[in-house]
Amino acid sequence: MQSSNLLELAGAISSGAVRVVDLTFTLSPDFPVIVLPPEFSPAAPVRIQELSRYDARGPAWYWNNVSFCEHTGTHFDAPIHWFTGKDLPNNAVDTMPPKDMLAPACVIDCSAQAKQDPDFLLTIPVVEAWEAQHGRIPERNWVLLRTDWSKKGWRDYANLRDDGAHTPGPNPAVMKWLVEQRGIIGFGTETIGTDAGQAGHFDPPYPAHHFLHGAGRYGLQCLCNLDQLPAKGAVIIASPLKIQNGSGSPLRVIALVSSS
């Protein structure tokens, strides 16, 4: 590739010919985190402690200490996050290949179904129907599940009931199929996890985590603005913090979308 092409891209971004869409929620203390039974170690929520704000603690500067779990806010899952990916090489956020941080995305719009059914599950026939319209999902693409879940208030977003969370996600068969038959680089959702809210009851439990990370692929969750992406052709930039042996991290997820 010639360097002039890269400069052309930069020019297109500058001119607006290529739109830059932010797929990220603001990292804030009140953003819902994954809920586990309380006897397990809890994910720490985001905490922001002010160090100084142009005051006696630091007259000319404003800054904060921040702390959070690796899996808070819009965040990235590395293969080491799940037991199925624990022995893979370069399976953590600090060792994963940087080139995997940039890849095209296929966006499957299931917002209508998810509106009808909070437990909506993505299945192979749904993806095949999408492919019939947009063509086969290319290898090393992200598959992003659009549900418009990110537009809900926090309570409906978490949607916790006494039998667990009820949020949409993929079923086991489609996850295995996307990984093995389509060679996707990763799977992304608008919900708190890449898996459905009830996925602990699936076989295997948490199939997105199970199959993605077992094959060295990645997860993205708590995405927003997926409704601003085309079904095909957007390029996703998802570069997690380089945390030593990190299992994931909050990150800024950016999509490049051609305006034409």
Partner 1 sequence: MINPIDPPRRKNPLLRTRLPASPPRARSRKSHGFTRAAAEGRFMLQRCAACNTFAYPARDACPSCLSADLPFVDAPRRGTLLAETTARVPSDVYFRERAPWRIGLVKMDCGPTIVAHLHADCSEGAPVRMSFQLDKSGQAVAFARPEEETPNMDDDRQWREMTADPKFRRVLVTNGRSAIGLETVTALQAAGAKTVFVGVAEPWRPFAGEQHLRKLDGIEIVALDASDEKSVADLAADIGGKVDILINTTEYIRPGGVLDRKGTAIAREEIDHAYLGFLNLAQGFGPAMRMRGADGVNSSAAWVNVLSVYALANWPAYGAYSASQAACLSLSHCLRAELRPGGVKLTNLFTGPVDTEWFQMVPPPKVAPRAIAQAIVAALKSGLEDVYVGDVAEEIRQRLAANPKALERELDR
Single residue of 44, 51, 66, 112 touching partner 1 by CB under 8 A: 44
Dihedral of CA atoms 121, 138, 144, 168 in degrees, nearest 10, equals: 10
Give Cα separations from 177 to 17, 148, 169, 184 (angstroms): 35, 24, 15, 10
Q: Which residue has the tokens 């586990």?
A: 36
Minimum separation from the CB atom of position 35 to partner 1 (A): 7
81 is catalytic: yes
Nearer to partner 1, 47 or 115 (CB): 47
Q: Which residue is catalytic, options 71, 81, 209, 210?
A: 81
Q: Which residue has the tokens 């926090």?
A: 154
Single residue of 132, 155, 163, 260 touching partner 1 by CB under 8 A: 155
Nearer to partner 1, 162 or 203 (CB): 162
| Angle (nearest 5°) at CA 232 between 129 and 256 | 155
Q: How far apart are CA 24 and CA 11, in angstroms?
A: 24
Single residue of 6, 13, 47, 55 touching partner 1 by CB under 8 A: 47
Query: 64: how many CB neighbours lie within 10 A of its CB?
Result: 11
Stretch that binds partner 1, among 118-126, 148-156, 194-202, 210-218 (CB under 8 A): 148-156
Interface contacts to partner 1, rule CB under 8 A: 29-30, 32, 35, 41-42, 44-45, 47-50, 153-155, 157-158, 160-162
For the annotated catalytic residues, the residue numbers are 81
